[in-house]
């Protein structure tokens, strides 16, 4: 986790497209062995049945999305650079133009493409920093590498956030927004689909903000 924080300070824009080889280069022998063992964990052992999508290489053609800002409690916040495979970005561009025309506000991308290496770091961050090493709880919220739609360009996962900073929280949830209602009615026109509805078959937490593009 200390090495992740150092990389975040130096290369925040690079982390989502970090390759496994680069990650291994940051680690010592014992840490590399841990990561390789970690990649072999099966979510089904913890009651989650999402399909294995594969540990895929970082796509060659990616679109970098920068300068996204939102307002939260009167304070402007900037989202770190995000990436999408070109086809998913093109579809998102058309969807965003349509939603902006209909409700007067665009949708922002809180999290787009995440390489397998970055998914490892994301999972470990939540496991250690947020859930006190509770694997089962962490697995209900964050997929393991190879199981995450964020790292699968064929069904690219995206976490949306509104320009008001709404994704999830005790004050207002994404599924209470105009943006979510618009997505329910119109997202499929642009080949975007809700991944984890309520009571989903994978036994994963309901995520109204998480949608995937399917080409």
The pLDDT of residue 139 is 84
Give the tokens for residue 4: 């992740």
pLDDT of 36 over the 90 cut: no
Residue 77 makes CB contacts below 8 A (sequence gap 6+) with: 69, 70, 71, 165
pLDDT of 110 over the 90 cut: yes
- Domain 2-214 class, CATH top level: alpha beta
The pLDDT of residue 168 is 55
Global pTM reads: 0.90
Domain chopping of the chain, boundaries? 2-214
What is the rounded CA–CA span in Å between residue 9 and residue 94?
33
């Amino acid at each position: 986790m200390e090495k992740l924080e150092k990389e975040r300070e130096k290369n925040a824009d690079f982390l989502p497209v970090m390759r496994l080889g680069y990650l291994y280069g940051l680690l010592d022998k014992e840490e590399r062995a841990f990561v390789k063992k970690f990649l072999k964990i099966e979510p089904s052992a913890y009651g989650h049945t999402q399909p294995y999508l594969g540990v895929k290489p970082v796509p060659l053609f990616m679109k970098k999305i920068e300068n996204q800002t939102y307002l939260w409690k009167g304070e402007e916040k900037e989202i770190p650079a995000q990436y999408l495979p070109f086809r998913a970005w093109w579809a998102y561009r058309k969807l965003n133009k349509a939603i902006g025309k209909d409700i007067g506000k665009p949708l922002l991308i809180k999290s787009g493409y995440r390489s397998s290496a970055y998914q490892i770091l994301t999972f470990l961050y939540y496991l250690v920093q947020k859930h006190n090493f509770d694997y089962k709880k962490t697995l209900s919220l964050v997929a393991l590498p190879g199981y995450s739609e964020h790292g699968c360009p064929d069904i690219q996962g995206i976490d949306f956030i509104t320009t008001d900073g709404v994704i999830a929280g005790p004050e207002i949830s994404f599924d209470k927004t105009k943006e979510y209602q618009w997505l329910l009615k119109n997202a499929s026109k642009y080949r975007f689909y809700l991944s984890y509805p309520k009571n989903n078959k994978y036994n994963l937490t309901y995520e109204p903000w998480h949608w995937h593009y399917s080409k």
